[in-house]
Amino acid sequence: MKKITKFMVLPFIALLLLMAGCSQENGYDNVNVEEAKELIDSGEVVVLDVRTEPEFEQGHIPGAQLYPLQQIDQWSGQLDPDQTYVVVCRSGNRSTQASEYLSEKGFKNIYNMTGGMNEWTYETDK
């Protein structure tokens, strides 16, 4: 009977390990500009722009909310950890930092837009 139990448990453990390997490596997902645009167009995400105020004023994704990376300790506690967010910056560096920080704080639905506003070819607001 013990051999049957071990035989049945080993495939289950292998499946769990396989599933763990397929999960988000960093706790967030990287998306390119086109994928971010699709998420934004769905209307089910909040866009967090983590650039500085002067950068934001030069042009930002319509509906984006300004949350400068330098102040992440102050504003991250005000966000809903169950909400889905697309995090944006100029090139993708600061948004990566913000995405890592938020995922470490327990946020599960974070999308980091790689390439940032440098690669954004769609409409912007000023």
CA dist 99 to 5, 9, 10, 21, 89, Å?
42, 36, 35, 20, 11
DSSP 75-114: HGGGS-TTS-EEEE-SSSHHHHHHHHHHHHTT---EEEET
68: Cβ–Cβ under 8 A, 6 or more apart, which residues? Answer: 50, 51, 52, 53
Active-site pick, 89, 98, 110, 113:
89
Nearest to 117 by CA among 46, 75, 57: 57
Please confirm, yes or no, whether 89 is among the known catalytic residues.
yes
Which DSSP category does 68 fall into? Answer: -
Which of the residues are catalytic?
Answer: 89
